[in-house]
Structure 1
Amino acid sequence: MSRMMAPPLPLVFLLMIHGVCSQWGGWSVSYSRSHICALQNSTVLMRCYYTHPTGHQIMKAFWTKTQINDNGEFPDLSDDPEYSRRLRFLGDKRISTVRLSHVTLKDEHMYYFRFITDQPGGNWIGRSGVTLNVTDLQVESPERVTEGDSVTLTCKSRCALTDRSTFIWFRNSLKILTESKPSHKLLLDPVRREDSGTYSCGVDGHTHISPDVQLNVMYRRVNPVISISPSGVIVEGDSVTLTCSDSNPPAEILWIKGGTIVGSGRVYSISNISSGDSGEYKCKSSDEHGEKYSDAVTLNVMYRRVNPVISISPSGVIVEGDSVTLTCSDSNPPAEILWIKGGTIVGSGRVYSISNISSGDSGEYKCKSSDEHGEKYSDAVTLNVMNPRGPGLLVWIVIAVACAIFTIIITIILYAM
């Protein structure tokens, strides 16, 4: 075993003399805290207790961040332009407190208290000093999060804050009201897709807030879902947006109307919508897991014509015994419809049907639409019902007369010869 060498006797004597002088000399500076960790832009209090021998009167007391300068003097912080507006001295004859506001990273330093008395050589500096560290806040978050996981976000600082701190959390710049006691950790268990967004943290009572961190929660729907904007009544000329919410990250999206592909992408927009855009829409999501279809949604575009219009089916020659349908296209939602033939009301409703039509049904037809905006009439359409037997007999009569005339002419010519 090695033995520690005892110091030489003169050194022991000097150490003893120094201890006695420190204890009996009456000069001392003791700091309430030797280390302070403060948040950016916060206010810091540094305090010390000091004594001096009796018979000395304090001429000047101040705080400094340099033990000595080029002139062998200790610069007073209150004379420094970087501190003068932010520094305020508090305290009494035995306690010195300095308050430094709006601290920044530039303020990280050792700080000392110094006082000077009226006696020659009567000055003292507390050389142990106070170490000031200034920190910002950063949110630490997992890189990849899946719905259902247990996720912890941590509000980190470069040093342990000296003051007891109550942490606050923000999602999308709105304060989060947590059920548990606010701390530097935010637990999301289980995490949901609605938890996606930007997160930041701060300390209650302080203005400094950490930079935003994006939390992106991955998920997959069983089937995609369509949302419509605007969600109310859709009128001709409006702009309508269909959104397919399927998964995160999104799959490949196709839009289908009545069996026909009409678009792609998560959003399908229709500007200046018309009645022709009415119908059922679906979205189909496709990825490496397969294909999935949303339930159908129906777009029902409201419109109003200037005047109603009549269409006839069938549109060709109408023969007695046929079935004929007249349709009055007026508006959506439809107005009240009346059918008029030669000044007489013959029916109502958007469709007027005539089965086993006869020549008595021939004539001019109009439809009249009526709603809170007034009445409007269509142009007249004419039904001309043909008799299948009439035209055949007439043809035979014409042929017979022509043949008789031809026979008479031939006979006269032959007789004259």
Structure 2
Amino acid sequence: MSKNEYLKTIQNRQKDNRLYILSKTLFTMSHTPFEKLQSIYGQCTTVISTYLPYKPFQKYIQISHCTYVVGVAIVMSVRMAPPLPLIFLIMIHGVSSGDWGVSYSPSHICALKNSSVIMSCTYTYPTGYNIMKVFWTKNPEKGEEPPDLSEDPEYSQRLQYLGDTQQNCTIRLSHVTQKDEHKYYFRFITNGGKWTGKPGVTLTVTELQVEAPERVTEGHNVSLTCKSSCTLTDRATFIWYRNSQPLTERRDRNNQLLLQSVRREDAGRYSCALHGHSYISPAAHLSVTYPPRNVSVSITGSGVIVEGDSVTLICSSDSNPPALNFSWFKENQISAVGSGQSFSALQSGRFYCEAHNQHGSQRSDAVTVTVKGRLVILYISAGVVCGATVIITILLIWGCRWIKKRNKAEVNHSGPHHDRHKACNDELNEPVYENIPVSKNTGLSTLALEVPFPAEV
């Protein structure tokens, strides 16, 4: 009987027991046991093997996509003359593959940076086995025992096993970052086999980001969106901040912030967060543009100048973007008399400025500039000097005359004596000095003084 005929015979005999012979190449004409088994029906694509104590002469074969699996196949070979292999097949009732498994819910998690993640899972194994060890791992490699994350320094302080040794295998992973983005698997070891649950849990870590236009015109509506790179697993309540201050009235499950009829005060740096989380997104700046406001004119000096000089006027305004175009006008004149933020006034009048940007314009209140002629100033100065000179002269004349009269009185009482005040000339007795009309044509006024003298004795 050929090998294939023998296999077919065994297969037919075992149909009632729901056992399947694995592989058309089950027998190996060598001194080593078989290395690979494959279903003759082609229904099973994955084979997970676990060694039993009789290693290397037997294997327990688990096929994840089949309803039943082969129990134990023992292959032995001996040297004979001529060398012929001696093969024993012991077929026992299979164990349902449904008894071994791990279920994850959900299998994809999107978590916020610095938040905590719950990876929920359950597991099953055949009755009669005892759990020896349970742990979570990541990125398992073929041929190597997967690492236990609880023994990894990067995870040991952040990973907490919330499950048990019965069927719950849930864990909590805290303070997740982008470095934690991996596929995670639960693995358990029994006294009769090992199992790694696939496909595992895929973890994605995201940051929040505010999506907003750079600028909006005053009076318009604008919408800001708090975005993430993946859909957050947890149902989130969003909180908004402006200039690091919470907008308490802006708390919603919607991730959008709508500002209606925007004002200048709405400009600032906006950020968002999730209620119950400490992480706050980077801020996005919102600029509100508006036409010039509060336009005013300032004067360098008093606003009173001498003819031939000038005074500088400066125009200022509050606008966004800043006003770059300025026009200067003189009251009661239609045409502009100057341009630029500053203007030099050379003549008297009332002047105002007008500031412009792409959103509009506004004019300031008018200021007064007074220009006085230089000759007028000189005449006034000359008149003051002349008047002072006349007054001093009159006082001197009056004083000399008074001294002379007093001396005469002394002579009449004590006789002639030497006059010690000859400095007063007799010409001062002339009547022309009794009334001194002073007239100076300054173009402004005429000065006339009358000085009374005491009566002669």
Q: Same fold (TM over 0.5)?
A: yes
1:83 Cα deviation (Å)?
Answer: 1.2
| Structure-2-length-normalised TM-score | 0.52
Say whether the 8 Å CA contact 1:66–1:111 is kept in structure 2.
yes
Structure 2 distance, partners of 1:56, 1:163, is: 37
Shift in Å, 1:295: 3.4
Question: In the TM superposition, what are the counterparts of 1:246-325 in structure 2 within 5 Å?
Answer: 246-252=318-324, 264=341, 284-287=354-357, 292-295=362-365, 315-318=384-387
Superposition TM-score, scaled by structure 1 size = 0.56
Gaps of 5+ in 2: 1-38, 46-62, 70-94, 299-313, 332-336, 343-349, 369-380, 389-394, 399-432, 439-457
Partner of 2:274: 203
Indicate which of 181, 187, 191 corresponds to 1:108: 181
**Larger deviation, residues 46-55 vs 152-161:** 46-55
User: Cα distance, 1:389 vs. partner?
Assistant: 4.6
1:73 and 2:145 are equivalent in the alignment: yes
1:17 shift after superposition: 8.0
Q: Is 2:218 aligned against 1:172?
A: no
Distance 1:66 1:211 in 2: 32
CA RMSD for the aligned pairs?
4.3
Q: 1:252 to 1:156 in 2, by over 3 A?
A: same
User: Aligned partners of 1:227 and 1:45: how far apart in 2?
Assistant: 65
2:222 to 151, 167, 170: 151
In structure 2, the residue matched to 1:95 is: 168
Partner Cα distance (1:246, 1:211) in 2: 29
Match for residue 53 of structure 1? 126
Number of the residue aligned with 2:41 = 10
Q: 1 or 2, which has the higher strand percentage?
A: 1
CA distance in 2, matches of 1:199, 1:227: 35
1:68·1:75 contact (CA, 8 Å) conserved in 2? no
Inter-partner Cα distance in structure 2 for 1:103 and 1:16: 32
Distance 1:131 1:158 in 2: 15
Residue 449 of structure 2 corresponds to which residue in structure 1? none
Q: In structure 2, how many angstroms separate the alpha carbons of the residues matched to 1:291 and 1:16? A: 77
1:5-48 alpha-carbon deviations (Å, 9 max, x no partner): xxx99336999981245855511111121010001111111121
For 1:194, what is the secondary structure of its paired residue?
Answer: helix
Aligned to 1:237: none
Are 1:192 and 2:238 an aligned pair?
no
Query: Does the CA contact (< 8 Å) of 2:238 and 2:272 recur in 1?
Result: yes
SS at match of 2:115: coil
Q: Which has the higher contact order (CA 8 A, sep 6+)?
A: 1
Q: Flag structure 1 segments of 5+ consecutive residues without an equivalent.
A: 1-7, 229-241, 266-279, 299-311, 320-358, 363-386, 393-417
Q: How many Å apart are 1:254 and its aligned residue?
A: 6.7
Greater CA radius of gyration, 1 or 2? 2
Q: One-letter code of the match for 1:19?
A: T
Q: CA contact under 8 A between 1:168 and 1:183: conserved in structure 2?
A: no
Q: Take 1:81 and 1:24, find their aligned partners in 2: how far apart are those partners?
A: 35
User: Aligned partners of 1:284, 1:388: CA distance in 2, in Å?
Assistant: 65
Name the SS for the 1:215 alignment partner.
strand
Whether the 8 Å contact between 2:288 and 2:320 is mirrored in structure 1 is yes
Q: Deviations over 1:145-173 (max 9, x none)?
A: 11122211111100000011111111111
CA distance in 2: counterparts of 1:163 and 1:196, whole angstroms: 31
| Alignment correspondent of 2:155 | 83
CA 1:98–1:254: 2 relative to 1, 3 Å: same
Distance 1:180 1:295, change over 3 A: farther
Q: Which of 111, 117, 142 is residue 38 of structure 1 equivalent to? A: 111
Look up the SS of the partner of 1:161 in the other structure: coil
Q: Which residue of 1 aligns with 2:232?
A: 161
